[in-house]
């Protein structure tokens, strides 16, 4: 099975194990603290997280594409449009501001 330390919910898993144990891994991702690092030939290639932690990450972003994915995931998880506040939607869909300190 995937490597896991007792202190960390992060598990390192190879592509073969992912293929063999996909249903169980998907079940484990329902736990919001579980993360998988997918490796190919021992090198990290992707990080797998469940939809709820992902939604939490993208609501901090301000890109329209992230807002759209958030709405789609919310709908797939059974939430309505009211599950995302209007302020969060406006923030995500607003054009990025030019910060004079960035220049």
Instruction: With beta carbons less than 8 A apart as the criterion, state whether 2 and 17 touch.
Output: yes
Is residue 73 domain-shared with residue 39, that is, in the same domain? Answer: no
What's the predicted TM-score (pTM) here?
A: 0.57
Number of domains the chain contains? 2
Is residue 20 domain-shared with residue 42, that is, in the same domain? Answer: yes
> CATH code at 29?
3.40.1620
Per-residue pLDDT of the chain (103 residues; tens, 9 = 90+): 555 445 567 889 999 999 999 999 999 999 988 999 999 988 888 889 998 888 777 766 656 666 666 666 676 667 666 666 667 666 666 666 665 554 4
Q: What is the pLDDT at residue 63? A: 64
Q: What is the pLDDT at residue 100? A: 53
Contacts for 88 with CB less than 8 Å, ≥ 6 apart = 59, 67
Q: Is residue 98 one of the residues assigned to a domain?
A: no
Instruction: With beta carbons less than 8 A apart as the criterion, state whether 34 and 28 touch.
Output: yes
Q: What is the pLDDT at residue 77? A: 66
Is residue 44 domain-shared with residue 62, that is, in the same domain? Answer: no
Domain range spanning residue 22? 3-49
Is residue 35 domain-shared with residue 59, that is, in the same domain? Answer: no
Is residue 13 domain-shared with residue 41, that is, in the same domain? Answer: yes
């Amino acid at each position: 099975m995937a490597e896991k330390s007792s202190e960390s919910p992060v598990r390192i898993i190879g592509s073969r194990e992912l293929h063999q144990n996909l249903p169980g891994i998907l079940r484990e991702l329902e736990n919001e603290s579980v993360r998988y690092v997918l490796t190919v030939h021992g090198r990290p290639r992707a990080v797998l997280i469940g939809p709820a932690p992902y939604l939490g990450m993208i609501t901090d972003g301000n890109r329209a594409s992230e807002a759209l994915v958030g709405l789609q995931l919310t709908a797939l998880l059974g939430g309505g449009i009211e599950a995302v506040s209007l302020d969060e939607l406006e923030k995500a869909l607003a054009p990025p501001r030019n910060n004079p300190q960035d220049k």
